[in-house]
Structure 1
Amino acid sequence: MTKEEFNFEEGEDKESGGGRFFTTFQIVFICIAGAAVIIAVGCMCAFLPDRSCEQPIGPELPTTVTAEPTEAPLTEPPVTEPPVTEPPVTEPRVTTLAPNATTEPWSGRLTYDLIPESYELYLKPYLYDDDLGEGDRIFTFDGRVKIHFRCNTTTQMVTLHMLNITIHDSTLTDSDGNEVGIESNSFTPIYEFVHFHVAAELEEGKDYILEIEYLGELWAGLSGFYRSSYEEDGEIKWLATTQMQPTSARRALPCFDEPDFKAVFQTQIEHRDDMVALSNGIEISVNESETEGWLITEYEATPMMSTYLLAFVVGYFNYTETYTDGGIRFRVWSRPEAVNTTVYALDIGSNITTYFEEYFNISFPLEKQDMIAVPDFSAGAMENWGLIIYRETALLYDSRVNSASNKQRVATVVSHELAHMWFGNLVTCLWWDDLWLNEGFASYVEGLGVEYAEPYWGMNEQFVDLHLQPVFDLDALGTSHPVQVAVNSPDEINEIFDSISYSKGASILRMLNDILGEDVFLSGLNAYLLRYREDNAKTDDLWAALTEADEGIGNNDVKQIMDTWTLQMGFPVVDFRRFDDTHFNASQEHFLINPDAGVDDRYGDVGYLWYVYLTYTRMTGADFENPNATWIEKEPWTLVHLSSPMENDWFLANIQQYGFYRVNYDDENWARLSQQLVDSHVVIPIENRAQLINDAFNLARVGRVDYPIALDLTLYMENEDDYVPWEALLGVISYITDMFSRHYGYGSLERYMREKIQPLYDDLTWDDDPDNDLHLVQYNRVNAIGTSCKYRNQDCLDQASTLFQEYMENDANNTDNLPDYEINPISPNLKTTVYCYGIQEGGQEEWEFGWRKYIETLDANEKSTWLFALSYSQAPWILSRYLDYSLDEDLVRSQDSYYVIVYVSRNYIGRSIAWDYLRSNWETYKQYYGESLSAFSYIISEITEDFNTDLELEELMAFGEGKNFGSATRAYEQSIEVANTNIAWMSTSADTVADWFEDAAPAIGE
């Protein structure tokens, strides 16, 4: 799954979930018994001594635990149709303590008493009032499943996962066709278990078939089997789609909903004959239903796979089609009116599939690959085997409307999801504590796939900006977590769908590839995938395969090395300092952005020392020495031997930043590196220019480097014309900019940045030519213009305002109803900048125009651009109204609504408005997002990330008193640590930095 910044939660009570069917007699009996109890209690209250009749208040267990693997939020609309309900459960709740459960108090893992082998699944979704000739079951689905399983251990109970499903009937038979009586069933809400209590013991080693007929809900949430819609020619078009990861397949069918319970799935879907129905396998038959106007589509059985990879889509869609070099039928689906925007994804997806077949040396195991864009989707995309589901911004691309960054996003997300077909689907993590095996690997090789398909985009160079340097920020917190971390409950599982699992996982795999070499790395991967094909594996299994591949070559003990990177949080800073004329002392220490805060001890202390593969070189005269490498073998330091030094030589460590560590030098070496950048920056590799800036500024934040040393590295930037170093600089400067938003140093910082970006701004100009300009030139132009406007280059602001006004005039004069791309004078690459600063420099009229365009456009990327730009208003009342709009799902789609409060908080005028709004509407946001995969965490961390005063910290602490943050608990703890770090920085560094800018700014201009 592609991580979004992002996600959701459901907003209705889920008391229902499992249950049994009751006869009329039983219901009457229960009612009579209940009435008798009430009368008895009343009598006792009347005649016994005067005591309270209220029940004593004690801890209350939740009735359900929801886990929403969404990379975007959900707003649950008011329920207008009768809800799906079950009869009350009268049997005692059963708590199963699974032998493979990890730690208390949560013990909701299934036992291995029963092992599923296959599912025969039938579904019939009802999306329109006339589907049944009645309206009381709209947005529901009929389901029937036959689960073939083997009894591993004698038992009298079959336990499955189930949520918001009503069971109509169930039967159990053995492999000989003999019926085994089901005496009753019960539900354990906290674990989302349904238990079938059988009359006789199930025999060890024997096969059984459990058949269940049930009714499910096509609810408005973004998980399980859910409903969505779009408008076409003024008519609402409904559809049903899925998002099962990590724990929501149980919403679609009773099942063994854990990744290690793999099985074969044979699916049939009954659907209206004017709709398309898709599933994991290729369709093998389409037959008329007994219901007039309906069809039944049957699909090829899947390979052995986990329940979270199940997928179904039913609705009105069109497709484009091609075949890969290996003969796989490849289709990309969308709303009919958007089908022309699927062509790029079709082309790059089929090419990358062929590339990954060669890279993994394993053919794609299915006959077809469908990719489909749906209007409401929580994540960026989901890697369901044979049916990858995307949000529209991650799959659809129109060169007339969308930017180069939109195009790269489509390519990257498609590559990420296709990588999962092997790493995640063919071989799946045993349990969610190894989630990083799926997501870290896909995040690493996504760039390789795009590099193959788009070789001029510099994806290998961009890796440090896209993954490595951003995740340093999170992993430098004492409240981070290891890559490989024990998780139990759905909340804990959801917490680790974060950049540690994705970007740190990708970064340490990239580092390991550099250590072992490409040939060994690929040989080990191939052996691992073949060994565990259609099975489950854990991290140590991958390390074993790579160690075997390296025997007789590097002879590295991969587990010994990599355990230090996966089993403890954080990363080291390597101090690389001259010891004498022929030696350097290379020492390591855990890098923390707030050392005084300490380290969260919940994961134990394994020493915080790493096996560091240290690569280094030096410049002697005009020549580089060949790069060298040595190990710091989980020791505090090591000596590095060098040849005789030369005058003014300098040293560079962590070549191309393959290692997941920061590097510090002695002051003299920093000065020489800085001078080299001024003299001839191209001598230093692009990735290392970005690394020097990122490392130095972060080392300065914690006092390991004096700030003037870090700031001096920026003096050369007026000569820098490569995108990656500029992106690194803008990242570290943005922190200072945010800290200075209410500080006297902002003015000199603004002047300095305006002057440093001026040469790039003048060189690239506003003449954007997407058809002829190189990809990273387009990226660089966006940075140059966006940065110039941000730091108030008046020419830039005037250009943006002029283009925005021209767009408004063209729109007003568009009497021929030309499509928007024909009247919009703004290049797709520059839309974000022009929209943002057109609104910032304008007033209510400009904002209302932008809001109307947001409502009218059908292009998902264009909607996202407007959603961001609208937050740039300088009018507090407009920002407050915008926040109100964001909670109206008729105005802002549920998958996008949480972005609004985050975007408003990034506006200096909107920061306190967003914070007050969150606190005032806390219960609403908690209802919408509280148990989502990451939206709630994203809201809390983003809104509070710039807090840098004692008052803001006090408000943040008070805000958390008595609150249960659920899956956002870690994010809240980290927000407190970040606020403390910011306060410390303002106290120790703000004035020093402000003084440097004050001295530097006049020297280069004003």
Structure 2
Amino acid sequence: MSTPADSKVSDPYRLPKNIKPVHYSLLVRTDLDALEFQGRVAIELDVLEETSTVSLNVAKLDIDHVTLLWGENTTEIKEQHLDEDLERLTLKTGKPLSKGRAHLVISFRGPLGDQIKGKVSMTGYYRSQTEIDGKKMNYSLTQFAPTDTRKAFPCWDEPALKATFDIIMVSREGTVNLSNMPVAFEVPLSRISDQAGDSTEELALGLASLKMEGSEAGWKLTRFQTSPIMSTYLVAYANGPFEYVEDYSTSPLTGKVRPVRVYGTKDVIHQAKFALDVNTKCLSIYESVFDIEFPIPKLDVLVAHDFESGAMENWGLIVGRTTAYLIDEKSAITLKKRIAGVATHEVAHQWFGNITTMEWWDVLYLNEGFATLMGELVILDKLFPEWGCRMSFINDHLERALALDAQRSSHPIEVPCDDAKKLHMIFDALSYSKAGAVLRMLSEFVTEEKFLKGVSLYLKKHLYSNARTVDLWNGVSEATGQDVASIMHEWINNVGFPVLKVTETSDGITVRQERYLETGDVKEDENQTLWKVPLNILKVDKSGQSVVDRSILLTERESTYPVDTSKPYKLNAGTSGVYRVLYPPERVKLLGRQAADPNSPFAVTDRMGLISDVMVLAKSGLCRTSDGLALINELRGEAEYLVWQSIADRLRGVLEVWWEMTDEVRSNMQAFIQSLFVPLVEKYGYDSRESDTVDGRQLRTLAINEAANSETPTVVEELRSRFKALVERNDYSHILPDIQTSTFVCGVRSGGKEEWETAKKVFLNPPSPSMRRSALDAMTASKDPEIIEIALNFMMNELKAGDVTFFAMGLNRNRFARRRAYEFFKENFDTLDKRFEGSFAWPYVIKLTLNGFSTKDDLEDVQAFFETKDTTNYSMPVEQALDAIRSNVKWFNHSNDDLVAWLKQWAESQGTSK
């Protein structure tokens, strides 16, 4: 556990607690032609105890001058030492500083991002580039989370060390400056004294520290309003040729009207209207739900061409990738859901993280778990109830969380991590999805109304301050009257989750909890945790109606409950619990028939959870893979998109492990998949209709994709012909939004070099961000070894760093490219490691490249390769990748005969066996 903010205990990775910043006056001059910046920061300090040392964070900056003032007098600095490994500047004074206020002034400069060729440079203050009217244009922006503010200016770069900020930007006229707060004033640099007011002397000192070449003509100064107290990682600023679209949000609490804008460059800004609408609407909804007004006078989003994460929640100036915010009005529903989910997630952070901030990164989930739950379920459901976000949360987040947490190399939601260089490893499915899912489970147990009331109390008690887990539990406990800390302790602080094993008795059911590992080899010392599990038992009453008992907590290893097993029943009703359920084999068959009944007592979410539980538990050997396939076979009459998505996800999981199956087995597997999805293609067709529902549109997209991937001749030929029009005539008219990616991928996969070059051309000059992503996916889909080699070299030498993750994912999905991509990864590992050093993307590139391997030889090869590497800064993703291979090997070994036999029997029953 990391050291609390008020502790006196020394921590080698944390700054001393003897001094804290109170206010920053930051002046930054940006030169987009020279691709460099320089600045001056004056930091007002509160000296808490007498000291002769001042330590703060600095990384990759050239320090020109340092002055330390006590009162009106300059304090002698006897020694100045920069520890590059700890990214810490330490100043030793001639005389001790006594308690009180001091001022530290530092002049600095640096490049706009790392200028080393091929090196990731999307952290700190860096530059992006686009082409406008045939001319390449640079612009600058920041990405500071978790610990990269120190790359832009010297600071106390820890979330608990909050301060207020005055930010001044000097830039070329004709560009736009943005920051967290609204502009206070902006004037040509030569006329600064006309409007500087009381700050003239301070500005003069700051401007004098800048090395202006030539005249001040052509430069301007922008001063922003003073910020609220905030953490350094939330500071943001940008400079460039930006345009914007605008709307206004009216506070339901005060009636105050705020401008809401999305900024971007001229080439993309026309695609920002949808994101603007979502931001505008959700801002007022959040105010109502939390009963706390948004404290910034405006809310901006900057859409960037080069941005490593999906988006970043900087207070008042969110920054995100083009693919995370830009969309064509006719885009597929799935893409709109993704854009809206990103937008609402980042606005949630304006409260969770920005107003109330985690004390240290070990409780990152207080930011990310809440933003996931609020942004991608609660608020998104209020904005778009027709999308079924409460149900899709299961596939989007719960399943993602359970998959990672079923590994031995998983970690608790609250995870000790003090070394700043390792923080990027914990920005994973556990901090986001498992945390969100556990909070959803709690909300369902105490009721959402009381849960949100408790959240509001938590936020109000920690406005503009920092918090830890106990503070959240106190708020929810106050609202519910329950001992929430006791209920949630194991879920937050222990690794893993339980599988509930159900045994039927004459009086009801006995439920036993054990830790679940996907390898199935849980050791005694790994099975000590007793979770407090909300059972959520669904029963059918005498009138035939479904009734859910949400009051029962399983707190012991094993307990018995009265249930009439002659009628349908199910644990984890609504699939809101973060656990899996193992039923007796005969009950699984019966559940399948009951789920397939048109009058089934089981809701969509129950059917989703049932499919997932049976198929995943088969992986660990707790049931048979054929049981899962038989369950899916029973559900072929299903009408709901989300259930079909669960089916598709689980079948892909099988194909991921059995990707090198024999021709006979592959033929039988493809025939089974085609028998499920081709009837849906025939029902929904390829073209949209006025009568389409949201569910119908998504089901059409899914069915065509699965039918194409299983090589259905009629579907492949239809998509090829649509892509052919683009190849031969540059005709996009047949590539419809709902089947855009399937068309691109199928066109390249079944084509040759001309098709690949067409996809590359679209990728480099796309009509829309979604088309760019579809083209990228297609560039990784070829079967041709020569084209695969071209794609790999393109990734290495031409692809921007922010796109490499998606490229690695696509190559790994392609069974014809997977092995070659892994060999290429090993051949170029040292170059890639250097290129992605300290990057959020690197752990994902590693895991994606190693995904799906399922033989003992593969396991030994990966182990041997990494034994020669220093994995200190990426040990977690390597071990998780190895765990995944181990579980794949075991699944294949214990289930291959079962899978092959079931598929053969099914094919013979259909007359399709070969």
Q: TM-score range by the shorter chain?
A: over 0.9
1:66 is matched with none
The code of the aligned residue for 1:546 comes to: V
Q: Does 1:477 align with 2:407?
A: yes
* Cα separation, 2, equivalents of 1:159 and 1:759: 67
1:723 is matched with 641
* Cα separation, 1, equivalents of 2:350 and 2:895: 48
Question: Higher mean Cα deviation, 839-848 or 257-266?
Answer: 839-848
Q: Does 1:955 align with 2:861?
A: yes
* Cα separation, 2, equivalents of 1:461 and 1:727: 11
SS at match of 2:647: helix
Q: 1:359 aligns with which of 268, 276, 289?
A: 289
Q: Once the two structures are superposed, what CA deviation does each residue of 1:884-938 show, in whole Å capped at 9, x if it has no partner?
A: 11122xx3222113432332122111011101100111111111124212x2221
Q: 1:436 aligns with which of 359, 365, 373?
A: 365
User: How do 1:159-178 residues align onto structure 2 when only pairs under 5 Å count?
Assistant: 159-174=55-70, 176-178=71-73
Give the drift of 1:109: 0.5
Q: Does 1:575 align with 2:504?
A: no
Q: Does 1:689 align with 2:689?
A: no
* Cα separation, 1, equivalents of 2:486 and 2:5: 31
* Cα separation, 2, equivalents of 1:956 and 1:621: 57
* Cα separation, 1, equivalents of 2:846 and 2:106: 42
The code of the aligned residue for 2:29 comes to: K
2:188 is matched with 288
Give the drift of 1:455: 1.8
Question: Higher mean Cα deviation, 736-745 or 836-845?
Answer: 736-745
SS at match of 1:230: strand
* Cα separation, 2, equivalents of 1:497 and 1:318: 32
2:43 is matched with 147
Q: Does 1:756 align with 2:655?
A: no
* Cα separation, 2, equivalents of 1:227 and 1:724: 41
SS at match of 1:108: coil
Conservation of the 8 A alpha-carbon contact between 1:615 and 1:653: yes
Q: Does 1:425 align with 2:354?
A: yes
The code of the aligned residue for 1:887 comes to: M
Q: Does 1:773 align with 2:692?
A: yes
Shift in alpha-carbon separation, 1:884–1:462, aligned structure 2, 3 A: same
Give the drift of 1:102: 8.4
The code of the aligned residue for 1:173 comes to: L
1:614 is matched with 535
Give the drift of 1:408: 1.4
Q: 1:545 aligns with which of 455, 463, 475?
A: 475
2:110 is matched with 216
Shift in alpha-carbon separation, 1:772–1:454, aligned structure 2, 3 A: farther
* Cα separation, 1, equivalents of 2:263 and 2:56: 33
Shift in alpha-carbon separation, 1:514–1:358, aligned structure 2, 3 A: same
Q: 1:669 aligns with which of 567, 583, 587?
A: 587
Q: 2:444 aligns with which of 495, 514, 517?
A: 514
Conservation of the 8 A alpha-carbon contact between 1:101 and 1:109: no
Q: Does 1:974 align with 2:880?
A: yes
SS at match of 1:680: coil
Give the drift of 1:634: 3.2
Give the drift of 1:184: 2.8
Shift in alpha-carbon separation, 1:772–1:142, aligned structure 2, 3 A: farther
2:577 is matched with 659
Q: Does 1:1002 align with 2:908?
A: yes
Q: Does 1:532 align with 2:455?
A: no
SS at match of 1:691: helix
Give the drift of 1:711: 2.1
Give the drift of 1:625: 4.2
* Cα separation, 2, equivalents of 1:413 and 1:120: 32
Q: Does 1:411 align with 2:328?
A: no
* Cα separation, 1, equivalents of 2:101 and 2:901: 77
2:202 is matched with none
Give the drift of 1:595: 3.1
* Cα separation, 2, equivalents of 1:149 and 1:930: 33
1:595 is matched with 520
The code of the aligned residue for 1:635 comes to: E
Q: Does 1:887 align with 2:796?
A: yes
Give the drift of 1:292: 0.7
SS at match of 1:167: strand
Conservation of the 8 A alpha-carbon contact between 2:727 and 2:754: no
* Cα separation, 1, equivalents of 2:648 and 2:7: 47
* Cα separation, 1, equivalents of 2:749 and 2:73: 74
SS at match of 2:801: coil
* Cα separation, 2, equivalents of 1:162 and 1:775: 50
Q: Once the two structures are superposed, what CA deviation does each residue of 1:190-226 show, in whole Å capped at 9, x if it has no partner?
A: 210001221211112x011111111122124000001
Q: Does 1:297 align with 2:222?
A: yes
Conservation of the 8 A alpha-carbon contact between 1:906 and 1:943: no
* Cα separation, 2, equivalents of 1:728 and 1:262: 44
Question: Higher mean Cα deviation, 698-707 or 452-461?
Answer: 698-707
SS at match of 2:535: strand
* Cα separation, 2, equivalents of 1:557 and 1:99: 26
SS at match of 1:872: coil
Q: Does 1:119 align with 2:13?
A: no
* Cα separation, 1, equivalents of 2:782 and 2:486: 54
* Cα separation, 2, equivalents of 1:778 and 1:101: 59
Q: Which has the higher contact order (CA 8 A, sep 6+)?
A: 1
Shift in alpha-carbon separation, 1:171–1:639, aligned structure 2, 3 A: same
Aligned residues: 871
SS at match of 1:399: coil
1:911 is matched with 818
Give the drift of 1:99: 9.1
2:208 is matched with none
User: How do 1:444-463 residues align onto structure 2 when only pairs under 5 Å count?
Assistant: 444-446=373-375, 447-463=377-393
Shift in alpha-carbon separation, 1:323–1:585, aligned structure 2, 3 A: same
The code of the aligned residue for 1:434 comes to: V
The code of the aligned residue for 2:158 comes to: E
* Cα separation, 2, equivalents of 1:712 and 1:873: 33
* Cα separation, 2, equivalents of 1:574 and 1:979: 25
SS at match of 2:550: strand
* Cα separation, 1, equivalents of 2:306 and 2:695: 31
Q: Once the two structures are superposed, what CA deviation does each residue of 1:828-854 show, in whole Å capped at 9, x if it has no partner?
A: 121100111111111122112222222
Conservation of the 8 A alpha-carbon contact between 2:503 and 2:509: yes
Give the drift of 1:178: 2.4
Q: Once the two structures are superposed, what CA deviation does each residue of 1:402-449 show, in whole Å capped at 9, x if it has no partner?
A: 332222111010000000000110000000000011000000111222
Q: Does 1:385 align with 2:315?
A: yes
Shift in alpha-carbon separation, 1:198–1:998, aligned structure 2, 3 A: same
Conservation of the 8 A alpha-carbon contact between 1:99 and 1:111: no
The code of the aligned residue for 2:700 comes to: R
* Cα separation, 2, equivalents of 1:285 and 1:715: 67
TM-score w.r.t. the length of structure 2 is: 0.93
Question: Higher mean Cα deviation, 271-280 or 230-239?
Answer: 230-239
Identity %: 29
Q: What 5-or-longer segments of structure 1 have no aligned partner?
A: 1-95, 129-137, 812-819
The code of the aligned residue for 1:196 comes to: L
Q: Once the two structures are superposed, what CA deviation does each residue of 1:581-617 show, in whole Å capped at 9, x if it has no partner?
A: x321111110110133759x9xxx7932100011112
Conservation of the 8 A alpha-carbon contact between 1:494 and 1:932: yes
The code of the aligned residue for 1:932 comes to: S
Q: 2:136 aligns with which of 236, 248, 261?
A: 236
The code of the aligned residue for 2:871 comes to: F
Conservation of the 8 A alpha-carbon contact between 2:145 and 2:233: yes
Q: 2:54 aligns with which of 154, 158, 162?
A: 158
* Cα separation, 2, equivalents of 1:376 and 1:860: 13
Shift in alpha-carbon separation, 1:665–1:860, aligned structure 2, 3 A: same
Question: Higher mean Cα deviation, 391-400 or 379-388?
Answer: 391-400
RMSD of aligned Cα (Å):
2.0
Q: Does 1:712 align with 2:630?
A: yes
Q: Once the two structures are superposed, what CA deviation does each residue of 1:71-94 show, in whole Å capped at 9, x if it has no partner?
A: xxxxxxxxxxxxxxxxxxxxxxxx
Conservation of the 8 A alpha-carbon contact between 1:941 and 1:974: yes
Conservation of the 8 A alpha-carbon contact between 1:98 and 1:108: no
Q: Once the two structures are superposed, what CA deviation does each residue of 1:462-518 show, in whole Å capped at 9, x if it has no partner?
A: 010100012111100011000001111123311100000000000000001011112
Q: 1:789 aligns with which of 678, 698, 708?
A: 708
